[in-house]
Amino acid sequence: MYLWKKIKKNRMSYIFISPFYILFSIFGLYPLLYGIKLSFYDWHGIGSWKYIGFENYSSLFGDELFGISLRNTVYFWFTIAIPLTILGLIFAFILNNEELKFRGIFRTIYILPYVTSSIIIGIVFLSLYDKNYGWINLLLKNLGCKPIEWLTSTQYSKPSVIGLMLWRWTGYNMVIMLGGLQGIPKEVYEAAKIDGASSFRSFLSITVPLMRPTIVLCMILSTIGVFNMFEEPYILTGGGPEYSSTTLTIYLYNTVFQYGRYGYGAMLSIVISIMIIIISFLQRIIIKEAY
């Protein structure tokens, strides 16, 4: 009764915020519950659903392609998410210096890759990595080196994707880091400078510890981005060759839209989401304990 009176008293407030919850229920909560239910069924897009319980989940342990895509994604996490956070912090620290000339122009240049269309970026990097006419291989030829099969070799497919990802997303992390740096009082750096601390010492002893919440945020966002990485490797290599650049989301896409295994695909999406939550939580604990 008390709760109903409280709702009635603040009914206008609930009416104004209701569009968000209505849209979230339709486009967020319902698909989530639908996917969880579907993960316990065998369905190929047509016909009736066949309930199989936890069979989709148990078969995951013997899925060789899932193991390959998981290893690739973890590899990308170490080579993309961690460097993105470090580079974002370093560039933000440099561009936060008020004595740096044209820093506004530099900030704009670094953020441009993030706001550029993925298709356009993919076309540009396909031109860069092409074996016969790519700009990188043309440079290598002029230097007397052999051309590299960036997109058709299992050895270089991952570095190709990593190069694109670092180029595109470093500026995004830099902007977040810049926002965190704005919250650090200038007096702290001035006091350290009076005490004789160098810029490098100030960076390690002041910037990094005080930027811990922002670093955690960037790591979590980078982790989510890597585990959901689809456009960049799919445009460059399609996940190949020989599954060398297949990520979890590419494998999920192929499972659903190429093989029509909707129940198995729903299970994969749930497993990937759980992995992201666990890794993000562990990152938060580890970085918190480190400082």
Q: What is the pLDDT of residues 231-289, one digit of tens each?
A: 889 988 888 888 899 999 999 999 988 888 899 999 999 999 898 888 888 877 776 66
Q: What is the pLDDT of residues 108-133, one digit of tens each?
A: 888 888 888 888 888 888 888 888 88
Q: What is the pLDDT of residues 53-84, one digit of tens each?
A: 888 898 888 889 999 999 999 999 999 988 99
User: In b/e form, how buried is each residue of 40-60, taking b as 16+ CB within 10 angstroms?
Assistant: bbbbeeeeeeeebeebbbeeb
**Domain interval for residue 149:** 61-290
Residues in the chain: 291
Q: How many domains does the chain have?
A: 1
Place of tokens 């060398």: 244
Q: What is the pLDDT of residues 170-205, one digit of tens each?
A: 889 998 988 888 888 888 877 878 877 777 787 788
Answer yes or no: is 5 within a domain.
no
**What number of CA atoms fall less than 13 Å from residue 139's CA on the CB side?**
7
Answer yes or no: is 23 within a domain.
no
Give dist(CA 91, CA 179) in Å, integer: 13
Answer yes or no: is 168 within a domain.
yes
Answer yes or no: is 49 within a domain.
no
Looking at per-residue confidence, does 290 or 15 come out higher? 15
Phi, psi of 138 (to 5 degrees): -65, -40
The tokens for 268 are 């994969």
Give dist(CA 162, CA 180) in Å, integer: 26
The mean per-residue pLDDT over the stretch 161-166 comes to: 91
pLDDT of res. 250? 93
The dihedral sign for the CA sequence 263, 266, 268, 270: negative
Give dist(CA 261, CA 38) in Å, integer: 11
Q: Which residues are CB-contacts of 89 (< 8 A; sequence separation ≥ 6)? A: 173, 177, 207, 208, 211, 215, 218
Place of tokens 């190069």: 163
Answer yes or no: is 10 within a domain.
no
Mean pLDDT of the chain: 85
Give dist(CA 41, CA 27) in Å, integer: 22
Place of tokens 């499972």: 255
Which amino acid would we find at residue 98?
E
**Burial (0-12, 13-18, 19+ Cβ within 10 Å), 286:** exposed
CATH number at residue 247: 1.10.3720.10
Tell me how crowded residue 118 is: count the other CB atoms within 10 A of its CB: 14
The CA-atom distances, in angstroms, between 201 and each of 86, 185, 196, 204 are: 16, 17, 10, 5
Answer yes or no: is 116 within a domain.
yes
